[in-house]
Amino acid sequence: MEDNKIIELFFQRSETAINELAAKYGRLCQKIAQNILNNASDAEECVNDTYLGVWNSIPPNHPESLSAYVCRIARNLSLKRYQYNTASKRNSIYDASIDELEECIASLKDVESEIESKQLTAFIEQFLDTLNETDRILFMRRYYFSDSYADIAAQTGLSEKNVSVRLTRLRTKMKKYLTERDYVI
């Protein structure tokens, strides 16, 4: 079913909307949650909470891209659950991808204001605009969707080593990009 028809079902408050959303984006939400949480039951709970979050927010919201909207909700819920689960522990899958970016970006815990956070977001979006399609895909798959090198390699047809090298170069390039814009690393 087309995204606009699913959104229309949400506006009509039809429970069919959730079934259609689950059929179209359930696997994607599950993958995002599983990559972050590394726990099937927690991931499933986050996916169900995602459906509830979409139900509660459409209407009044009318997203331009339903897939991006749903992914963002799933990712945010998974990150909240991850923080709750790992208050004093470490989860190597998600932490590995975040640790790779740590040398390029100051910790969000150290950012003192909302404005600085928004500025960093704008800089990263601008940086992504400078990349070719393959590099953007690699960056987003690793640092937004938290995919492993093996998963990214399978999706892109590149070797794991090539993915690793390209991501290392992208982090270096991003660090230089941010430094040139006077972002304190």
CA pseudo-torsion sign 114, 118, 61, 136: negative
Q: Residue 156 has what pLDDT?
A: 92
Q: Residue 110 has what pLDDT?
A: 45
**69, 101: one domain:** no
Is residue 88 left, alpha or beta, with left meaning phi > 0 and alpha meaning psi from -120 to 50?
alpha
Range of the domain at 25: 3-85
Q: Considering 34, 64, 85, which residue would you say is the last residue of a domain?
A: 85
Q: Residue 99 has what pLDDT?
A: 65
Local confidence band at 115 (pLDDT 50, 70, 90 cut-offs): low
Q: Are 149 and 163 in contact (CB under 8 A)?
A: yes
The distance from CA 147 to its chain's CA centroid, rounded to whole angstroms, is 10
Domain assignment present for residue 54? The answer is yes
Amino acid identity, position 38: N
CATH code for the domain of 173:
1.10.10.10
Domain assignment present for residue 185? The answer is no
Q: Are 179 and 105 in contact (CB under 8 A)?
A: no
| Beta-carbon count within 10 A of 161 CB | 10
Q: Residue 8 has what pLDDT?
A: 93
Which residues, 6+ apart, have CB-to-CB distance to 94 below 8 Å? 35, 36, 37, 38, 82, 146
Which residues, 6+ apart, have CB-to-CB distance to 157 below 8 Å? none
Closest CA to 38 of 148, 166, 184, 130: 148
Q: Residue 84 has what pLDDT?
A: 83
Local confidence band at 121 (pLDDT 50, 70, 90 cut-offs): confident
**20, 52: one domain:** yes
**41, 15: one domain:** yes
CATH code for the domain of 17:
1.10.1740.10
Q: Are 37 and 80 in contact (CB under 8 A)?
A: no
Q: Residue 26 has what pLDDT?
A: 94
The residue among 39 and 98 whose pLDDT is bigger is: 39
Token code pair at residue 153: 């390699």
Token code pair at residue 110: 């150290």
For the stretch 138-161, pLDDT in tens is: 999 898 888 889 999 999 999 999
**118, 163: one domain:** yes
For the stretch 70-98, pLDDT in tens is: 999 999 999 889 888 876 555 555 666 66
What percent of the chain is helix, strand and coil (3-state, nearest 5)? Answer: 75, 0, 25
The residue among 20 and 99 whose pLDDT is bigger is: 20
Distance CA 80, CA 86 (A): 10
**101, 64: one domain:** no
Q: Considering 32, 51, 85, which residue would you say is the last residue of a domain?
A: 85
**109, 68: one domain:** no
Q: Are 133 and 152 in contact (CB under 8 A)?
A: no
**112, 73: one domain:** no
